[in-house]
Each structure stands twice: as structure tokens, then as C-alpha cells.
Structure 1
Amino acid sequence: MATDQAAAESKGKAKKGMSRSTLLIIVLLAVIVAGGIYFFLGRGDSSSAGAEKEEVHLGVVVTLEPIFINLKDDRFLKLGMALQTTHEGGGGGHGGHGGGGPDIDGAMALDAAIEVFSDQDMQMLSTNNGRSELKEELVARVVEGYGPEITTIYFTEFVMQ
């Protein structure tokens, strides 16, 4: 009888052990599935909401003719720029054939470039930090002058001599 009782106890423990491990597997699977659903659905909602808030429609890039700017010590800078607009369509501001494009006069941007870069030291313009700092100042002046229709400036030529 003692052996029958011991066998019954071991069967009971085996059933309890089996049910605990099965329960543990089910809980782990549920956590993994819930994490997957959160990752795919929750993350997609937040990224699309963020995209709607920060959405800026980039339009035509208006390329301006290069200009020469006097630097310190009888040096000069040949600077070519392009303005990123929010306007869609062609034309580019150069009397394009398609019409419907932005009619942006680049004189204000060129004037701002002359003000920012005139009499600068060539050593400052030779470093990435120096160029970036002056470009930020130029972008701020151009955006202030043109308003929200210009989003940024690209340098198409930057030659120092």
C-alpha cells in the first residue's frame, strides 16, 4: 500500500508540474503576442501621427547664379546657392517654360549671403563648423525675408581663393 500511495503522489506531482509548465508556456506566448501587437500597431500609429505634425511639403528648388564675395586679406569666395521652396511645379524662377512654378526673386538671398560672408576669415570658412555656423545664419536671414515659402538653402558652389 505504501507503494500505491507513493505512486499516486508522484502522479499528482507530475500532473501539477505538467500544468504549471503548460501554464508558463501559455503565459509566455501571450506576452510575446501582446508585445508583437503593440510593436506593430502601437508604433505605426505614433509614427504616422508624428509624420502628420512635422509634414513639410518640399517643392521646387530654385537655383541662383553664383556670386563672388570679398573675404579678408584680398581673398574671395565664389558662392552658388539653391533655395528649397514649398511650391510645387516647374519653372524654377528662371522664366521657365511650364508656368505654375514659384516666382522667387533671388536678390534678397544673394544680398543676405553677401552680408553674412563678406570680410570673413578664410580659416573660418575652411572648417565644417565655420561654414555650418554661417550657413545657419544665412538660412535664418533668408527664411525671415521670404517667409515660410523657403525652407532651406543648399550650397551648389563654394570655392575660396
Structure 2
Amino acid sequence: MAKDEKSAEPAPAKGGKKKLIMIAAIALVVLVGGGVGGYLMLKPKKAEAEPAPTPGVVSVLDAITINLADGHYLKLKMTLQATTEAAEAPDGSEALDIAIDEYSGRKMDQLMSNAERERTKKELIAKVVKAYTKDGKKEIMDIYFTTFVIQ
């Protein structure tokens, strides 16, 4: 019976480890692919950006002189870029008032730096755009300095 017992044992399958590795690899690919696909389908969509306003009329404002610190002054002339939502060319008096508030009393060396001048200009644009927004409609979209002289 010793011979029968040996023959009753199943013969080891050839390539058993290879099949197991292939099945594991396929399962891994399916899981990773499904995870990536699910993420791409369910990820939150980016918020739609507010459409850029369409440029309208350009209003050239008179030059103003602003007192800086330590007896210096700034001669500033700017232009307002209106949007097409503006019913008419904007009156620049409010923008000039905001510019005076923004630059009055600043030190000359602060405005001599390009980085600082750009930073203050961005602040000025934000304040002017806010001041000229009526009923959710932006009437001004940008400001251009045509003269910026410090003495």
C-alpha cells in the first residue's frame, strides 16, 4: 500500500507560483485603476472663475500733487480703465481721493522700490474697483499711472 499512498498525492502543479503572482498583479492593477478612476470622477470641480470684464472707455484724470513724509511730494497722473458695464465715463474724483489717502504721508524710499510701488498700486486698484462697483457691476477694471514723479 505504500505505492498507492504515494500515487494518491496530487502532483505539484507546474507554474503555480507564477499564476499566483499574475493574479495578484492583475488584482493590484484593477484596484489602483478603479481608485484613480473613482477619484477623477468624484473629485470636486474647480469653481468657475469670474469672467474678465470687457474694457470700455478710458478716463484720463488730471495730475495731482500728494504730500509725502519729510517734505517730499508725489506728482501722480492716472487713467481709469472703465468696463462696458459703466453707463458713462466715470467721474475720477473718488479715485483721486482714494489715491491721496493711499499715498499721503508715505516715505519717499517706500515708493522708490518697484516692489513696494506695485504693491501699493494693487491696493489702490482694489480700493478703486470696490468704490466703483455698483449693484454688483464693476465699472472700473484697472488703473494706469501715466505720471509718477517723486521729489
TM-score, with length taken from structure 2? 0.61
Query: 8 Å contact 2:59–2:89 — kept in the other structure?
Result: no
Match 1:108 to one of 73, 94, 106 = 94
TM-superposed CA distance for 1:74, in Å, is 0.3
**Distance in 1 of aligned mates of 2:50 and 2:105:** 40
Q: Which residue does 2:72 correspond to in 1?
A: 75
Query: 8 Å contact 2:69–2:108 — kept in the other structure?
Result: yes
- 2:130 is the alignment partner of 1:141: no
TM-superposed CA distance for 1:87, in Å, is 2.9
Computed over aligned residues only, the root mean square deviation of the Cα atoms, in angstroms, reads 2.1
Deviations 1:5-31 (A, max 9, x none): xxxxxxxxxxxxxxxxxxxxxxxxxxx
Alignment CA distance shift 1:53-1:75 (3 Å): closer
**Distance in 2 of aligned mates of 1:121 and 1:152:** 25
Deviations 1:103-159 (A, max 9, x none): 311110000000000000111100111101111111111011101010010001000
Q: Which residue does 1:159 correspond to in 2?
A: 149
| Letter paired with 1:67 | I
Q: Which has the larger share of helix?
A: 1
**Distance in 2 of aligned mates of 1:136 and 1:107:** 19
Q: Which has the larger share of strand?
A: 2
**Distance in 2 of aligned mates of 1:143 and 1:116:** 14
Unaligned runs of 5+ in 2: 1-47
TM-superposed CA distance for 1:55, in Å, is 4.1
Deviations 1:57-100 (A, max 9, x none): 11111110010000011000000000011138xxxxxxxxxxxx
Query: 8 Å contact 2:98–2:128 — kept in the other structure?
Result: yes
Q: Percent identity?
A: 45
Unaligned runs of 5+ in 1: 1-49, 89-100
**Distance in 1 of aligned mates of 2:70 and 2:88:** 39
**Distance in 2 of aligned mates of 1:132 and 1:76:** 18
Q: Which residue does 2:55 correspond to in 1?
A: 58
Structure label with greater radius of gyration: 2
**Distance in 2 of aligned mates of 1:141 and 1:75:** 24
